[in-house]
Amino acid sequence: MQEINVKIVKQRIVSSNIFISQDISKKLELNMECKAQMKTSRNEEDKSVLLNIELNIGTKDDKLRIELVSDTIFELDLLPDDYNEIAEQKLVPMARETLLNSLDEMLLVMGYSKMELAKKM
């Protein structure tokens, strides 16, 4: 595969739902699910890609539920031969990491501690 450099041009959280129970314990076993859809430009010369990510984080007992949906625009330096491969290897991990960092900032504003899930991935 050719080496393609990517950078995030813009990320926007389009939906967020955070529920944290009052009687939640300090140690949690979290489940995370990430769904992604990619859209490319109709202009064949345009090297930007839109990635929509739906991130669901929660516990089995539903004492913590977090649902985030974001749109991330990436700029690629080269057009890839396989968009799915570049999405799996670079785009989704980058977008997920920045989304998890944004989640930490939202939790701080809400009065909670950071979860630092981006570091634990």
One pLDDT digit (tens) per residue for the chain, 121 residues: 568 899 999 999 999 999 999 888 778 889 999 999 999 988 888 899 999 999 999 999 989 999 999 999 999 998 888 889 999 999 999 999 999 999 999 999 999 888 888 888 7
Residue 23 confidence (pLDDT): 84
Please report, for residues 20, 41, 59, 65, 75, the alpha-carbon distance to residue 24 in angstroms, rounded to integers and kept in the order given. Answer: 7, 44, 10, 11, 40
Residue 26 confidence (pLDDT): 77
Segment (H or E) for 35: strand 31-40
Residue 27 confidence (pLDDT): 82
Residue 110 confidence (pLDDT): 93
Residue 99 confidence (pLDDT): 97
Residue 2 confidence (pLDDT): 66
Helix (H, G, I), strand (E, B) or coil at 1: coil
Domains parsed from the chain with CATH numbers: 6-120 (3.10.420.10)
Tell if the pTM clears 0.85, that is, is over it. Answer: yes
Reading the block at residue 9, the tokens are 């041009």
